[in-house]
Amino acid sequence: MLSRRHLRIKVLQSLYALQAAREADYQLAIDFITESFKPDLNSMTPQDPVKLEGMRKITTLLLEENYRKGAIPDDEETPSEAIVTARNALKYYEDLYKKDKRRLSRQLTPEVEAIYSAYLLLLQLFIELSSLSKTERERQYDDPDSNPIAKLSGFDTNRAVIALSESKKLESEFIRKGISWGNEVTGLIRKLFRDVFRQDETYRAYCAQKTHTPEEDQQLVLYSLKEVILKNEEVINFFELNDLYWSENGDLARKMTNKTLKSATESDVVQIIPLTNDWEEDSSFMQELFDETVNRNDEFEAIIAEPLKNWDLERLSAMDYLILKMSVSEMVSFPGIPVKVSINEAIEIAKDYSTPKSGKFVNGILDTLSKTLIKEGKIRKSGRGLLDNK
């Protein structure tokens, strides 16, 4: 189950992606200027390469100095052609950035919900393996010369997998979320069963026994998930194609699957693990945190500029800078979250996702900022947000 920290990390990842997109959009605007002042080889009018290059440099400088302000000023000393081209390049940049901002904002919730879909797919994979196991065993019973390994047991006799297969609630969840491996990947599952599990010593030893304890059934499915399924290159490729952050999200999906598999052998009810205790509220928090940080970017950059005035911004970690902006956004925009919670979460995220010294750095900057912003009335807490808030 995802914590608020996981959601903050997801927001941070999207902010980082937006920053990269913004830099790419700016470079495309520079390319637009370059193209605008290339010699026209088809023109009947003589071209002056030196003049064109001069215009390109003037126009590029205009954009560089003013694109963050959002306007290219009039200037009698600047050629009108350079001003017009710079304004066109600025509009081009802004249109690209707006599209990227909308795209990443819209993708935020679906990308997190993809973790839940992956979790359901992993559960469904066991049901698919169970079907293949049952078919193989039935065929081998009819063939006296077949390999006896799978005649005694397999996934289809495993208590956990039987519970998954018989769970009406889980079946309804598959339907509700449209979960299916689909015909295009059934070959992957068959290959996984035939070429991997059939050769796996642990699975073969399990199949060679007629009966199993609940503990043995649980051990098999947990082993199969961690040591076989999620270490299979083709399975990993499948999930990576559907999730850009699978290297991190895969571990969350595995933990959720583990809990359900354990519940399937420890009780009569298959426990379906929700993304969070209140996904509607948590997804709203995540979306608002991203949108507030992006839409009030200039305001938050101005706020953190004061304590960073003695720092060389070019040497400042880009991730630290984003963490500071996101954390200030949270402190200012969410009255129900205590300041200490926002700061502590930022510290832990900085430790995991930035440099070794980032946690201490982020702590110092945010502690100073929070005191200043509370004094100025820019941080106003209410309800739970007043807890431990001094």
Summary mean pLDDT of the chain: 91
Backbone phi, psi, residue 308, to 5°:
-100, 5
- Quick one: average pLDDT of 160-186? 91
Confidence label for 388 from pLDDT (cuts 50, 70 and 90): low
pLDDT band at 277 (very low <50, low <70, confident <90, very high): very high
pLDDT in tens, 216-230: 999 999 999 999 999
Instruction: Just give the CATH number of 296-386.
Output: 1.10.940.10
pLDDT reported for residue 143: 54
Give the tokens for residue 3.
């914590």
Q: Is the pLDDT of residue 141 over 60?
A: no
Q: Residue 178 pLDDT more than 70?
A: yes
What phi, psi does 309 have (nearest 5°)? Answer: -65, -25
151: confidence class by pLDDT, cuts 50, 70, 90:
low
Place of tokens 């009039």: 74
CA pair distance 337, 331, nearest whole angstrom: 7
Asked if 108 and 290 count as a contact pair (C-beta separation under 8 A), the reply is yes
Residue 186 clears pLDDT 80, i.e. is over it: no
DSSP 186-236: HHHHHHIIIIIGGG-HHHHHHHT-S---HHHHHHHHHHIIIIIGGG-HHHH
Counting Cα atoms < 13 Å in the Cβ hemisphere of 205 gives 9
CA-based radius of gyration for the chain: 29
- Give phi and psi for 265, each to the nearest 5: -110, -15
Taking the C-alpha atoms of residue 302 and residue 304, their distance in angstroms, rounded to an integer, is 6
- Judged against a pLDDT cut of 80, whether residue 142 lies above it is answered with no
Q: Which residue has the tokens 């010369």?
A: 145
For helices 4-36 and 49-66, what crossing angle results, to 10°?
Answer: 150
**Cβ-based neighbours of 236, under 8 Å, separated by 6 or more:** 230, 246, 250
For residue 136, what are the contacts with CB-CB under 8 A and spacing of at least 6? 150, 154
Neighbours of 115 (CB within 10 A): 22
Residue 213 main-chain phi, psi, to 5 deg: -80, 160
Reported residue count of the chain is 390
The whole-angstrom separation of Cα 198 and Cα 228 is 11
Residue 144 has pLDDT above 60, yes or no: no
| pLDDT band per the 50, 70, 90 thresholds, residue 152 | confident
Share of the chain above pLDDT 90, in %: 79
Q: 310-338, pLDDT tens digit by residue?
A: 776 667 889 999 999 999 999 999 999 99
| C-alpha closest to that of 355 among 315, 314, 328 | 315
Residue 100 confidence (pLDDT) = 98
Give the pLDDT score at 176.
Answer: 95
Tell me the per-residue pLDDT of 39-87, one tens digit each, with 9 for 90 and over: 877 776 777 889 999 999 999 999 999 999 999 999 889 999 999 999 9
**Confidence label for 386 from pLDDT (cuts 50, 70 and 90):** confident
Q: Band of the pLDDT at 351, cuts 50, 70, 90?
A: very high
Confidence bin at 189 (pLDDT 50/70/90)? very high
Which of 186 and 74 is assigned the larger pLDDT? 74
What residues does each domain of the chain span? 4-106, 110-266, 296-386
Give the pLDDT confidence of 1-37 residue by residue, as tens digits.
899 999 999 999 999 999 999 999 999 999 999 999 9
Q: Percent of the chain scored above 70 by pLDDT?
A: 95
Dihedral sign computed on CA atoms, order 90, 93, 95, 98? negative
Predicted local confidence at residue 365, as pLDDT: 94
Per-residue pLDDT band for 140 (boundaries 50, 70, 90) equals low
Tens-place pLDDT, residues 233-275? 999 999 999 888 898 899 999 999 999 999 999 887 899 999 9
pLDDT tens digits, one per residue of 289-308: 999 999 999 999 999 998 88
Q: Which residues contact 47 (CB under 8 A, 6 or more apart)?
A: 39, 40
